[in-house]
Structure 1
C-alpha cells in the first residue's frame, strides 16, 4: 500500500498496530466530503469511535487495509 504515515493506533500512548480506520470530519470546519482518519487497534476501536460519534464526527469505520 505504500503508506508514509504512522500505522499505529491513534489512542494516546498505544503502540499497537492499526486494524481499523475511523473516517471522520468536523462539519463546523470541514467540507462535507472531507475525511480525516484515525487509526485504531482492536482494543481501542470502540473508545475512539465513541469519542467521535458523541461529537457527531464519525462518518465510517473500515478495516485498515481498505483505505483507498
Structure 2
C-alpha cells in the first residue's frame, strides 16, 4: 500500500472484502524505528476492531480517512 493510492483498497481484516475508508498507521516499537510506520486499510465496520487490536498491544496507532491520506500524498 505504501506509495500507491489507497482509494479502492480493500479492508485488511481477514475475510473482509469491503472497500477501505480508513487508514490505520502503526508501529511495533520493539521492531520498528520511530520514523517507520506500517499501514492497514479498514472499512467502516472494522476500523475500531483493528485499532483496538493494535492499541491492546501498546503499539502507537493513529487513524486517518483514506481521502486525507491520498490528498496528502498527491500534494507532496
Q: Which segments of 5 or more consecutive residues in structure 2 lack a partner in the other structure?
A: none
Please tell me whether Structure 1 or Structure 2 has the larger radius of gyration of its CA atoms: 2
- Name the CA distance, whole Å, in 1 between partners of 2:30 and 2:41: 22
Number of positions where the alignment pairs a residue of Structure 1 with one of Structure 2: 66
Q: CA RMSD in A?
A: 1.7
Which structure is higher in helix share? 2
Please list every run of at least 4 consecutive aligned residues from structure 1 whose deviation after the TM superposition is greater than 6 angstroms.
Answer: none
Normalising by structure 1, report the TM-score: 0.86
Q: Which segments of 5 or more consecutive residues in structure 1 lack a partner in the other structure?
A: none
Deviations 1:14-61 (A, max 9, x none): 000001000000000100111100000000001000001111124211
